[in-house]
Amino acid sequence: MKQSIKKNQTQQSLADSIKAGLYKLWSFPGGIKLPGNKSQSNHQPITSAKTARQLVIPLNQHIGQAAEPVVQVGDKVLKGQVLGHAHGIISAPVHASGSGIVTAIEERPIPHPSGLSALCVVIDTDDYEQCVEYTPLIRENKVSEAQAGETRENSADEQSITALSNEQINSQIADAGIVGLGGALFPAAAKLHTAEKMHTDTLIINAAECEPYITCDDVLMRYRPEEVILGILLIKKVVGAKKCLIGIEDNKPEAYEALLSAISGYTHAHKTAQTEPQIEIIPVPARYPAGGEKQLIQVLTGKEVPSRGLPMDIGIICHNVATAAAVYQAVYRGEPLISRIVTITGGAVKVPQNMEVPIGTPIRDVLTQAGLNEEKIEKVIMGGPMMGFALPSIDIPVTKATNCLLISEKDELTTPPPAMPCIRCARCSDSCPMSLLPQQMYLYAKSRELDKLQEYNLFDCIECGCCSYACPSNIPLVQYYRYAKNEINNKTQERNKADLARKRHEFREERLEKAKLAKAEAARLRKEKLAKKKALDAEKAKQEEAKEASSDDKSDSTASEKSAANTTAANSADLIQEAIARAKIKKAQQQSQRKNTENLTEDQQNQIDEANERRSKNSQIE
């Protein structure tokens, strides 16, 4: 009774705030009013799923490339251990959600509209639940401590968040394998890094949860609001946003009050901080699809995301409340994303509830714990009735994308009758939140005029199902658009492959042509070098010949000079001999004519003899 009175008071408080015009709101075109069907599962706290005997963990649970396995069959793994590393920029690691032995790494069926299979790591769990040692960046310190009356002049949380660098926080988020838990599954770290570079000034937290039956975000905000607020502050710091807007539908008064209380407690605990949290909670009208990213941005800010554009193009980044809570767990506890809250609801379940389920747990185990009545099952839908898809089997694993398991009984979900011809009533156009022309797009999709479809902005369609819901002819319009998108994507991939092959061929031809030209150039250079060498050799030979010729001329000249010298010497010797002969003749004549040589004294005679002897010696010497 007291709880009912408190709930009514909370709803009245929220309604009064909206009526008072405290929040400036805009609107988006189209949309429809749907029955919520949320009260079945949001009336009790979050429960925990038991660890399954076998976990099947897909390696691709995100947009982008699948993780690369780093374990082998037979390895013993611990809870929280990395099973696959991120492969590329748009990728995320995958972790073990329980301890045990890896028994297989193989293709297994996964939740997918087409019933596809993917590479999975299969773990037979043990009973020990051994964990790896987690390394948090900040000591866990919940806001609720301040609500009990504790006043801290210098908050450890505030100081720790401020002390951390953006790189530290984003690296921790990337290592934890966090992806967008609102359904997009985009790796959170890559998204935050891009937003930081693009100077985002507004962070929007999507707490609308507009799809019928789904209440996992609602109970998260009710029972763990402090984790959501601290996770938001971490994201806000990384992207450098000046303000944060939390958009929550007005049918969630308890979650609204819980978040207000958490912000109040944080503000009280950090009242000496220089800056306020700058977080504003804004209730929005419960009109489907108010939880669409582009629709929520338009309602809260009045800005429209451009066609084929991103919120970051207008300075905004949008994240889900569950993603913010996962960021908190990664930074404050060091825990990777190994579990998520799943709404289990529908007429074929005895106890509808929200359960925290380890990733890789077979859906059958989860439903059994919730009291599944298999005899009543008509359809098992992953997601909500508007954007979810039917599962071919319940023996497939829960993944990061599993936010709701809707197990309907007979007549719970209306089965549309066979489609009738279009009557051109324009109800589909009136209900489209993206201001598209669904009827014209349907005709082009049916006739496979894919180029015309793209001219009509097919890829702006968010596949919310409003047009199909509003169509009086029961035409499954969304299915036509999905088919057309797949066809265009397939053709685009084929064209990209062909372009890649052509570019590779052109590159090969260019490479071969360059090699041919390089070879010809090398041959030309060798030829020039050889010609230069031959010219140098010829020049050298000429120089040697000239040198030899010069040497021969010099030798001949030397020989002539020697011959002339010898001739001159011979002539000189002949002249000397002739002179000697003449001297001898003259001497003989003188001796024969001796004058005054008679009657000489002995001394005079001796002197004469000595003189003659000297002359004779001199003649011999000469």
> Each residue of 147-192: pLDDT tens digit?
444 434 334 455 578 889 999 999 999 999 999 998 889 999 999 9
CA neighbor of 59 nearest in space, from 130, 122, 132: 122
Asked whether residue 182 is assigned to any structural domain, the reply reads: yes
**What confidence score (pLDDT) does residue 560 get?**
67
Q: What is the pLDDT of residues 428-442, one digit of tens each?
A: 999 999 999 999 999
Tell whether 330 and 425 lie within a shared domain.
no
Tell whether 326 and 437 lie within a shared domain.
no
Asked whether residue 413 is assigned to any structural domain, the reply reads: no
Cα angle value 350/354/355 (rounded, 5°): 100
Asked whether residue 285 is assigned to any structural domain, the reply reads: yes
**What confidence score (pLDDT) does residue 2 get?**
43
- Provide the whole-model pTM: 0.78
* Residue 243 contacts residue 278 (beta carbons within 8 Å): yes
Asked whether residue 402 is assigned to any structural domain, the reply reads: no
The answer, yes or no, to whether the previous bond of 289 is cis (omega within 30 of 0) is: yes
* Residue 367 contacts residue 397 (beta carbons within 8 Å): no
Q: What is the pLDDT of residues 499-529, one digit of tens each?
A: 999 999 999 999 999 999 999 999 999 999 8
Q: How far apart are CA 171 and CA 204, in angstroms?
A: 22
Sheet strands side by side (includes 82-85)? 68-69, 82-85, 94-95
Q: At residue 203, what are phi and psi to the nearest 5 degrees?
A: -105, 125
Asked whether residue 216 is assigned to any structural domain, the reply reads: yes
Tell whether 425 and 542 lie within a shared domain.
yes
Tell whether 295 and 439 lie within a shared domain.
no
Among 546, 564, 582, identify where a domain stops: 564
CA neighbor of 338 nearest in space, from 326, 324, 355: 326
Bridge partners of residue 288, in order along the sequence: 32
Tell whether 295 and 165 lie within a shared domain.
yes
The amino acid that residue 92 corresponds to is A
Tell whether 437 and 308 lie within a shared domain.
no
Q: How far apart are CA 300 and CA 117, in angstroms?
A: 40
Q: What is the pLDDT of residues 250-297, one digit of tens each?
A: 999 999 999 999 998 888 777 645 556 689 999 999 999 999 999 999
Q: How far apart are CA 233 and CA 169, in angstroms?
A: 11
Tell whether 318 and 170 lie within a shared domain.
yes
CA neighbor of 172 nearest in space, from 235, 233, 241: 235
CATH number for the domain that contains residue 264: 3.40.50.11540
**What confidence score (pLDDT) does residue 19 get?**
46
Q: What is the pLDDT of residues 15-73, one digit of tens each?
A: 555 444 556 889 999 999 999 999 999 999 999 999 999 999 999 999 989 999 999 99
Among 540, 564, 588, identify where a domain stops: 564
Q: Average of pLDDT values for 345-350? A: 94
Asked whether residue 211 is assigned to any structural domain, the reply reads: yes
Task: Look up the domain containing 435 and give its range.
Answer: 421-564
Q: At residue 262, what are phi and psi to the nearest 5 degrees?
A: -65, -40
Instruction: Give the strand pairing for 379-382 and 353-358.
Output: unpaired
**What confidence score (pLDDT) does residue 575 get?**
79
Bridge partners of residue 56, in order along the sequence: 122
Asked whether residue 235 is assigned to any structural domain, the reply reads: yes
Q: What is the pLDDT of residues 455-507, one digit of tens each?
A: 999 999 999 999 999 999 999 999 999 999 999 999 998 999 999 999 999 99
Q: Quote the number of domains for the chain.
A: 2
Give burial (CB, 10 Å; 0-12/13-18/19+) of 10.
middle
The amino acid that residue 355 corresponds to is M
Asked whether residue 351 is assigned to any structural domain, the reply reads: no
Q: What is the average pLDDT value for the chain, to the nearest integer?
A: 87
CA 562 to chain centre: 96
Among 334, 351, 376, identify where a domain stops: 334
